[in-house]
Structure 1
Amino acid sequence: MMKPEDNYYEILGIATNASQEEITRVFKQALRELPEDMKEAAGRRNQLEKAYYVLGDEMRRFEYDRIMFDKKSPETKIEVKPSPSEAARDRSTFRHHQPLSQRDTYYDRFASASSARNQGSDKRPSVWVLVGLFLLVFVLGKVWLPGGVPRPGLENLPAVNTDSYMPQPDIPPLELPPGGEVHYYTGEEPLAPFSIDTAAGINYFIKLVDRATGAQVVTLFVRGGEWVETKVPLGNYELRYASGQDWYGEEYLFGTGTVCAKADREFRFYQDDTSIMGHTLSLIEQADGNLRTRRITPTEF
C-alpha cells in the first residue's frame, strides 16, 4: 500500500494521539462549520468524510498510522518467574511422583477409571474394520443407485445481485444535512424554479442527471416533512432519488435502509418568450398521483 498523500489528522485539525470519541466530536463539529460557498463546502465535506472514514475506524486508523508514520506494533515479552517459596514447593512436592497407595482416598476411583478406559480401548474397531465397512457401503450404494447420487441443479439457483443493496457502513450515522442543501456540478446559472414536498419520517437525496450526457448536474437534500424551493439550470433531466432515515454521506447514502428510484418521465426546465418553466415535485404517496417511478440499485443511482 502506498503512503497516503493527505494527512487526515491535519484535515480534521486533531493530534495524532486523539481518542476515537474526540475524532467523532471534531468531525461532526467540522460538518456544522462548512463554508457558505457551495463548491468550497462540497470539497471540504468530501475531505472530512474521507478523513473520518479512515480515522473513525480503529483498524483502518492503525493501518493508516503504520504506513503514514512507519509505526510498528510493540512486542511485549512477559516472563513469569515463580517466587522462591513456589519454586521450593515445586521441587519438594512435584519432582517425585509417588504411586497411589491402596489406602489413599482416591485409589478406588482412580483404579475404576483406569480399568474402564482400558476396557473401552480394547473395544475400539481396528482401521481395517472401518475400511471394510466403508467399501461395503460404497459398493451397496453403487448397486442400489445405478444412476449415482444426483448433484443439485446449481444452474437453476437465482444469481445474487450484490449491487441491489447498500452495504452496512463502517461509520456512525452523520448529522442530517440542512433541508434544501443544494450542490451544483455545472457552470450554468440556475434559473428554473424547482419545488419539492415530502412526507414526514423519510429523508430524500435527489439528483438531476443530464439526459443527453448522463452527467450529474444538481444534488439536493430534503428532510422528511419539509417543503423546499430552489432553482436549477435549464435543461432536460432524469430525476433520481435515494430515500431513508439515517444519513451516512454521499458514499453510503442511508446505509442498509437506502431505497433508490428514478422517475419514468423526463423533467424539462426551459425558457420561452414570456417565462421560465420549472417543476413542483410531491414525494408523498397519493391515490391519484401522476409521478411514476421504478426501483433502481444504489450502483445505478
Structure 2
Amino acid sequence: MTYYDVLGVPVTATQGEIKAAYIAQIKFFHPDVFTGPPEVAKVKSAQLNEAYSVLSSPEKRRIYDKTIPNFTAWTSAKANDETTAAPEAPDEKADCQPPPPRYSHDQEQRQKERLYRSSKATLINVLVISAVLILVLCISAGVSRFSPQPSATESQPLPQVLPGSGKILDSVFYRYDAPLTIETRGDGYYLVKLKDKYSHRDVCSVFVYGGRSVNIDVDFGCYELYYAHGDTWYGEEFLFGSDTKYYKADDDFLFEEYGDYVYGWTVELYLQDGGNLAVSTIDGSEF
C-alpha cells in the first residue's frame, strides 16, 4: 500500500487535494474523536501523518514516487483515463443564464379586428368590409393548416434495451483493489454511481435490477455514492425519463487496506429496521 492509498488519493493528485484528503481523514481517525478501537486510531493516525509528511513536500514526494513500482505506467494510465473520461467543464456563465425558450406546441393564430363604423356607412361599405374580413380569415386558416407542426414525439425519448444487471457503464478504475456489493429489493431498475470524494468526478457507474445484488471491485479511495431509480430505461442521457428519482448517500465510503485486510462495503438500497445508511433526495442536476 502506497502513501497515496493511505490518503485515498490518486498518484496524480494535486497538493491541495492531498492536504484536503489528509485533513478529512485525520479528523475522523484522530484518537481523541475516533469511536472505534483505540489501537486502530493510533495506527491509522500514524499512517496518515507519515504519508502526509512525505506527500506534502514536493521534493520528498518526487523522491518517493521513484520508489513506487510501475509509477510511470500508473500516471500514464490515469492521465489517459482523465483525458478520455472527464466531461467538459460547463460554462459557469451559462449556468447563470435562464434556459432558452422552448418552442410552443400550442400555437394560436390571433387576429385583432377593428371595425370602424360610421353612421353614414352604406350597404356597399359593409359588404366590402365583410369580404375583406372573410379573405383574411381564409388566408390565416390556410397558413395554419399548411404550416409544419412539431411532432409530439420528437422531444420524447424512446425506451432503450436494458443493460445487464451488474453491467458497468462507465469506470476509470484500473487497480480494482476492494470489493463493493450492492443489494436491492422491489421492482424497477437502479443506476448506481460513485464519485471521488475530493474532486467530485464520476469514477464508476453500474446498472442493477431491482431485487438483485451485484459485486464489483473498485480502487482504494474515498467515494460518494449516488443512485437513480425508475421503471423504464431510456439510455444514459435520459436515464429513466421524467419519472427518474435521484438519491445521494449521506455518508462517504472509504475503501482501504489495513494490515493484511482489505476493507470493502456492502450497500443495501432498501428500507429496513436497524438500517444505518441515510440517503437524501437530490435534483437531477446533482447526479
Q: What TM-score results when the alignment is normalised by the length of structure 1?
A: 0.44
- Please say which structure displays the higher CA radius of gyration: 1
Q: What TM-score results when the alignment is normalised by the length of structure 2?
A: 0.46
